[in-house]
Structure 1
Amino acid sequence: MPSMASLQAPELVASCLLLFLATILLFKLLLLAPPSKKKHAAGTASPSPSLPSPRGLPLIGNLHQVGALPHRSLAALAAAHAAPLMLLRLGSAPTLVVSTAAAARAVFQGNDDRTLSGRPALYAATRLSYGLRSISFAPHDGAIVLRVAFGGGGGEIGMDVNAVLDETQHLLGGFWVADYVPWLRWMDAVRGMRRRLERRFRQLDALYDRVIDDHLNKNKVATDDETEHDNDDLVDVLLRLHDDPAHRSTFSSRSHIKGILTLVRNPDALAKAQHEVRRVVTGENITMVREADLPELHYLVIRETLRLHPPAPLLVPRETTEPCTANGHAIPPGTRVLINAMAIHTDPGVWGPDADRFVPERHENGDGGPGGSGDGFALVPFGIGRRSCPGVHFATAVVELLLANLLFGFDWRAPPGAREVDVAEVNGLAVRKKNPLVLVATKRGNSL
């Protein structure tokens, strides 16, 4: 579900430069200001000073240490300070970074899950989710907010849906000065980010209206024979309950692409996966893998793909709602919590010295670690606890079915002359490939 993503290098450099210039202008005033003698109010004291906290700069804190791929720069920072639990100051936002399964276990098992289920009111998320009304960004309360799947493709809706959603994810995961130094939020306007945000909001609003209107009109002209709802999509179902549009997840499309990409880079695993699919799915006039075939497919390619390529390598940020502790360190309410799924999934302490290698066999005995002794904290592509993705089972089944059919119906290889498959990443709310995936697919038999 769900991250502090898409800190694109040019944006980050420009923003940090503006912040640094502001620091120079204000530095003398900060030095001349009399020291505050007020004690922190009860329940809002700063976290324990013994919690590892890399030294930052005035005003911007540790923002300059967060690179264009935050999950990688934060993992490197945690490794450099031997700090699986690390407190950063990102502007004015205290942020706890969790980088290992053991650290995640200490945080979540040592506290009531509800205290870690808040969401920070991120600037772009607030606007693009209609005031934090989407299931991903809503504050934790008793409400259930349903996510809507579109009933038609982008052409039927009348706009390039993928382009709109890609830009939306870029904005949701982008670097917003307002999120870290609120009183300098005007810098977002100077950088042109607010203008992009408002333009994208208007496009999203028009998209939602068009989808809803199309479904309402379709239902008005439906015949009596069509009222059994056999062909309804989720929009139709939700319209019968209540209108609550939200943005579409791109998990399934990107995950099966990453699955094929990873298999092409690992020919032995590709051959094993294809052999299993083609052994299980046999018979005359069989042209595709059906959902009923999935239980017979035991080679856990998807699980290993999600380990090495989680949809959101930095899970959607949380925020503590009450005082809590982590390994004996006091964490006050209002502290942001970043769970680095990418770092957890490649932790040698859990996954062994070959943690960076694609080895589907490691999952054969369970759901975590080489010996299958995981407890739910070693593999977290869909989050942890009550704020984990509610669509995990549906999404996983969709991806398994798509990938199985791609393996059943086609032989795959890299293009002629390609030295290696391009795996460069671009961050957003969900990480995507920087460049389109180019592979050669050879159709097999009479498969669809």
Structure 2
Amino acid sequence: MVTRVLNSTSFSRRMAVTLILLLALISAVSVLLLTRKSLKLPPGPAPVPVLGNLHQLGPLPHRTLRDLARLHGPVMQLWLGKAPAVVLSSPEAAWEMLRVHDLDCCTRPVSPGPKRLTYDLKNVAFAPYGAYWREIRKLLVVELVSARRVKAVWCAREQQVEKLISTLGCAGAKPVALDEHILSLSDGIIGTVAFGNIYGSDKFTQNKNFQHALDEATDVLSGSSAEDFLPKAVGRFIDHITGVVAQRERIFKHLDAFFDMVIEQHLDPNRAKSENSGDDLVDVLISHWKEHRGTLKFTRNHVKAIIFDTFIAGIDTSSITIMWAMSELIRSPRVLNKVQTEIRAVVDGKDRVRPEDMSKLKYLRMVVKETLRLHPPAPLLVPRETMRHIQISGYDIPAKTRIYVNAWAIGRDQASWPEHPEEFNPERFEENEIDFKGEHLQLLPFGTGRRICPGMSMGIATVEFTLANMLCCFQWALPEGMVVEDVSMEEEGKLNFHRKTPLVLVPIILCKRRNH
């Protein structure tokens, strides 16, 4: 009898606790719904169950979202499955978020793909905002822009550009698919800066799958995971049965093994050393790890994460911009002739463009600006997430909302670029000081504020120096039978958007070969 009473009492207590929890849950949901009703949320297309608005994005979301913004406004709410998101498509709205509310939304949404590939968010690009991110970004920036690093980068840049010019010169005025050559150049520059002269060693050249793994990693970083958009348990199950998790692990293990090989080569006391040995990025990172510099508890995985960051951020963006610039130039003979005339006048009989010549090439800089306006490498900047409630253009944006900035739409905004915004016309920069360094709201290919791309200056220098020498040393023509209208400008990609088809051009050598 006593036992029955105790059990009855215990049951009653459990029931009471369950009812209290249920009422608390109902109250919380009601408060949430009432709160959301009282907010002035941005307009947007109606979501469907489970998917939200995912089905509306299509293969080129920057274009689709621009079209949707024309219907719903430059501050537009979407539901990416369960995840609330806001897309900003006007310069004013983007500037208000990136600069006015920079501190309120300068973190990143956590996604399983980037989290795994960056060793639990130990890199700069995807790390959440906080003390760790500030210190690791400071370390990377100092190493990228230090006098030693700038010198090392210029040496690597000149070597790789010389190699490119030599390779193209051997084509014998025959059609060449530029894409692989330009990608190899960017890879060579970043690889030499990060890994030093051993990047050209046999072990590196034999690892031909590294670039392929990086390409696959870019797809993973784009956030194409069901767990991002569906309830965690459901999304994780779908990612397992569809092979997303297996693919992620395969890519991670491939890159991890490669980075381990790099670190072991740098740790080898018998490693062959050149004049510049010890000046590469991996050496600096290893010294932080081994000597416990700074306040960070630096580990081997930190070294790997930052190497990964350097490659992902450095290779694709530079090569994509060079390819779009060459595509636009070959379709605009007037601009091509004008920029080549400027370059050759500055070179004045020399066989190459030298680093000291670059500051004089003002029209070339306009060409690069115009390319970035029309073809930002990441059309939708890497997403941010609000850390607290903010307002943009009078609309309420709750905490934990993903923010996407459509840099592609901003670059073609009619109000900012009233003179034929869809046309390639570098002269539009003659009458203004608009630049891409994050100080002008009309042009934000690298973002602005705390999360602006730290490698921007390095990447732009590579783009300008490569283009200058390609345009100095060769006259460029289309293959026989082609006209400018035949040059495809179709895009493809996920995080970064490049040309869909190879760009095939004929390089006709003009300059004298240098004797080595």
Opposite residue 194 of structure 2, the aligned amino acid is A
Greater helix fraction, Structure 1 or Structure 2 = 2
Count of residue correspondences: 404
How many angstroms apart in 1 are the aligned matches of 2:97 and 2:265?
46
Alignment of 1:147-166 (within 5 A): 149-151=194-196, 152-153=199-200, 156-157=203-204, 158-160=206-208, 161-166=210-215
Q: Match for residue 231 of structure 2?
A: 182
Q: Match for residue 65 of structure 1?
A: 56
Cα gap change, 1:87/1:367 in structure 2, threshold over 3 Å: closer, same or farther? farther
Partner SS, residue 335 of structure 2: helix
Q: Give the drift of 1:367.
A: 4.1
Cα gap change, 1:289/1:241 in structure 2, threshold over 3 Å: closer, same or farther? farther
How many angstroms apart in 2 are the aligned matches of 1:189 and 1:421?
41
Cα gap change, 1:129/1:53 in structure 2, threshold over 3 Å: closer, same or farther? same
From 111, 119, 128, the counterpart of 1:130? 119
How many angstroms apart in 2 are the aligned matches of 1:231 and 1:400?
28
How many angstroms apart in 2 are the aligned matches of 1:86 and 1:378?
19
Query: Aligned pair 1:195/2:184, yes or no?
Result: no
Q: 2:265, 2:271 within 8 Å by CA — same for their partners in 1?
A: no
Query: Aligned pair 1:215/2:266, yes or no?
Result: yes
TM-score, length-normalised on structure 2? 0.73
Q: 2:99, 2:448 within 8 Å by CA — same for their partners in 1?
A: no
Q: Give the drift of 1:153.
A: 4.7
Query: Aligned pair 1:105/2:153, yes or no?
Result: no
Cα gap change, 1:241/1:447 in structure 2, threshold over 3 Å: closer, same or farther? farther
Partner SS, residue 171 of structure 1: helix
Q: Give the drift of 1:387.
A: 0.3
How many angstroms apart in 2 are the aligned matches of 1:236 and 1:47?
55
Q: 2:476, 2:505 within 8 Å by CA — same for their partners in 1?
A: yes
Partner SS, residue 89 of structure 1: strand
Per-residue CA shift, 1:130-181, capped at 9, x if unaligned? 1111111001123324388343159642322221111111121152111111
Q: Match for residue 8 of structure 1?
A: none
Cα gap change, 1:413/1:326 in structure 2, threshold over 3 Å: closer, same or farther? same
Q: Give the drift of 1:361.
A: 1.1
Cα gap change, 1:174/1:328 in structure 2, threshold over 3 Å: closer, same or farther? closer
Partner SS, residue 136 of structure 2: coil
Partner SS, residue 215 of structure 1: helix
Identify unmatched segments of 5+ residues in structure 2. 1-25, 145-192, 290-299
How many angstroms apart in 2 are the aligned matches of 1:46 and 1:236?
55
From 505, 509, 515, the counterpart of 1:439? 505
Q: Which protein has the larger Cα radius of gyration, Structure 1 or Structure 2?
A: 2
Tell me which moved more, 394-403 or 254-263: 254-263
Q: 1:110, 1:326 within 8 Å by CA — same for their partners in 2?
A: no
Partner SS, residue 121 of structure 1: coil
How many angstroms apart in 2 are the aligned matches of 1:206 and 1:353?
51
How many angstroms apart in 1 are the aligned matches of 2:129 and 2:276?
33
Cα gap change, 1:278/1:47 in structure 2, threshold over 3 Å: closer, same or farther? farther
Q: 1:47, 1:332 within 8 Å by CA — same for their partners in 2?
A: no
Cα gap change, 1:156/1:439 in structure 2, threshold over 3 Å: closer, same or farther? farther
Q: Match for residue 39 of structure 1?
A: 31
Per-residue CA shift, 1:348-395, capped at 9, x if unaligned? 1101141111111111233439xx9x9521111111211010111111
From 87, 95, 98, the counterpart of 2:85? 95
Opposite residue 432 of structure 2, the aligned amino acid is G
Q: Match for residue 280 of structure 2?
A: 233
Q: 1:88, 1:96 within 8 Å by CA — same for their partners in 2?
A: yes
How many angstroms apart in 1 are the aligned matches of 2:278 and 2:465?
20
Q: 1:315, 1:338 within 8 Å by CA — same for their partners in 2?
A: yes
How many angstroms apart in 2 are the aligned matches of 1:139 and 1:384?
17
How many angstroms apart in 2 are the aligned matches of 1:301 and 1:52?
37
Q: CA RMSD in A?
A: 2.6
How many angstroms apart in 2 are the aligned matches of 1:408 and 1:102?
39
Partner SS, residue 441 of structure 1: strand
How many angstroms apart in 1 are the aligned matches of 2:375 and 2:202?
30
Opposite residue 43 of structure 2, the aligned amino acid is P
Q: Give the drift of 1:324.
A: 1.1
Cα gap change, 1:101/1:47 in structure 2, threshold over 3 Å: closer, same or farther? farther
TM-score, length-normalised on structure 1? 0.84
Q: Match for residue 376 of structure 2?
A: 310
Q: Give the drift of 1:49.
A: 4.1
Q: 1:312, 1:430 within 8 Å by CA — same for their partners in 2?
A: yes
How many angstroms apart in 2 are the aligned matches of 1:68 and 1:92?
20
Identity %: 39
Q: Match for residue 114 of structure 1?
A: 103
Q: 1:56, 1:62 within 8 Å by CA — same for their partners in 2?
A: yes
Cα gap change, 1:345/1:47 in structure 2, threshold over 3 Å: closer, same or farther? farther
Q: Give the drift of 1:70.
A: 1.0
How many angstroms apart in 2 are the aligned matches of 1:115 and 1:312?
22
Q: Give the drift of 1:303.
A: 1.0
Q: Match for residue 386 of structure 1?
A: 450
